[in-house]
Chain A
Amino acid sequence: MNSKIQTQKLASSPLPAPPRLRVPFSVTSAFTLFLACAIATTAQAQVAIKAKTIHTMAGPAITDGIVVITDGRIAAVGPAASTQIPAGYETLTAEVLTPGLIDARGTVGLTGIFNSRHDSDQIDPSAPIQPELRAIDAYNPQEKLIQWVREFGTTTVNTGHAPGSLITGQTIIVKTTGNTVEEALVKSPAMVSATLGPSANEQGGKAPGTRGKQVAMLREELLKARDYIEKKTRAAKKKDDPAPAPADSTDKPTEKSPTPPTPPDRNLHLEMLADVLEGKVPLLVHANRAQDIESALRLKQEFGFRLILESAAEAYLLAPQIKEAGVDVILHPSMQRAVGDSENQSFETAAVLVKAGIRFAIESGYESYVPKTRVVLFEAAIAASNGLTFDQALGAVTIEAARILGIDQRVGSIQTGKDADLALFSGDPFEYTTHCTAVIVGGTIVSRVER
């Protein structure tokens, strides 16, 4: 019963734009029919793609294949020899076709290209723990960086409040199109963003100032949330299961009855942490140093929430522990700067995670300066050249990311019935000199520029 978690029903077209004319089939005028077709092509693309190689991420790659898109969904995928393109479909061609890329964690839309006061909403500095801040209230779908990542094939992003304080707020999952956040939205809230390590320390003598204090503050807050849940549960029980009939006012001595529990006042802060404790929303913990990763695992053990590790630069030191805890990892961008608490990061960490059997994705993460956003296509490419197979690297920005985000029923692979989110490339998508030639979101061609 969580009204705050909304999952948008399978989207039609996440693109806003031209008013969609629904022309009834009964129209017989040839001219009107022609017009209707023309409009339908721009508004609701009925599109097919012929590709030399289709990486479906749901089985082996298809050579010389075709994908057919109808009404925003994938209607068919298979070898050209056995897959028909219906008449009247716009047909695109590509050397390589992949699912639209999924950025398992970024900040685009809350962070903007200018990196100035007016386009930077990733952190409110007034308090170190603010799980109540919703990304949906801050996401700017018009942000240029969203267009930038979209043109390199990113079609879905888990974006929101950045790492940098103990708990900065929530994230949301959006498609990289849409005129309003509502149109873009896939899921809100998606996660609660937490940070352990030096970057979560506050300045000027404010708490937290050490690792020990960070964990103490989180534990205290989570205990408050646990207490909040208990109060709510007791009140709910009381309501559902009314107390025995009230004693009448005769001289019968009443049994001492406890004060009837009243529900606690609504507290947006604790409500959100309660959702975390009840497993409705994962806690995404940004931790780079091994001891910070260990602290996250310890907190998970104590409170039992769903933990997802973010960044995890030294995860290679704790692979068995992470595996044992059954925790997913959203790994730092391969090219993130190796400074501060990520100075020991490695291009080969993804390969270590694969070997350990840990489910992981590769993120664009948060950048405070230049480049203002990273691009998961580029980050996965570096992993592909440092120990991952092609499929493992592509999986880290498609189907595995979708699974970690819990949206794999809808996106992440090229399969019949899924959202038609696709990226077209002129060659191996990971090669530096390959171009992303077109991007499709929800069946609509949203980019035709060569990137």
Chain B
Amino acid sequence: MTPIRAALLLVALLSAAGAWLVSERELVFEPDVITTWRAEHVDDRPLTAAQESEFRAIRGATRRQDLLLLLAALAVGALAVAVWPAAARTAGGTVPAVLALGAVVLLGWSLSMSVNNQIHRAVAGEWTLSDDAFESFTGPLASLLADYRERIPEDEAVILVGVDPFALNVASWALYPRPMYMLVRPIPQTYTLFQVRDEIAGTALAADHPGRWVVHVTVMAQGGAERTGRADLLKVDE
């Protein structure tokens, strides 16, 4: 056995062992040295504690998947080149051959994930080539937004308040061509939509339209008035 082949087998073995160890963990966090550095050098643009906690979990899961795929691909790539040394000659070196053959694993994995996901979403009505993408785009908010469309005339303005990125995006898309406004000023969480409406009524915001409506996207995202008991849509000037 040549030294290179022995080294490749060792790399394959270590990578496979590493992949197995990573697969046993739910989350993989950044190295301690980075965590310590962050704690000792406080950034002036930090996340809130709640955001930090949520984001830490997301990052941990992403890092776990990255490492798992990386090590699995390296294990397969190194093993393949150990078995088929001619690959290294045509690829221009052992490392390029290992990485290219390892990528085949990722190709197969991505292919199966994508096809599987597309089939599932097609069955659920989310994948569509039809002219009506309203339901696939708005998802769980479809019935609420369809109701808003019926109630709000197309020439009247809609003022969106609250925080929910998905609900904000789909509401502003689905309610087009109604003029869409956003309340730039932050609203205290204790405010009801009635209080917000009363404040808006005294301002010139969107006042040049025949009518004004206010939508609380946070309440909308939680299922609307029926589910939360809180107002989600009000006419401003009644």
Partners in one complex: no
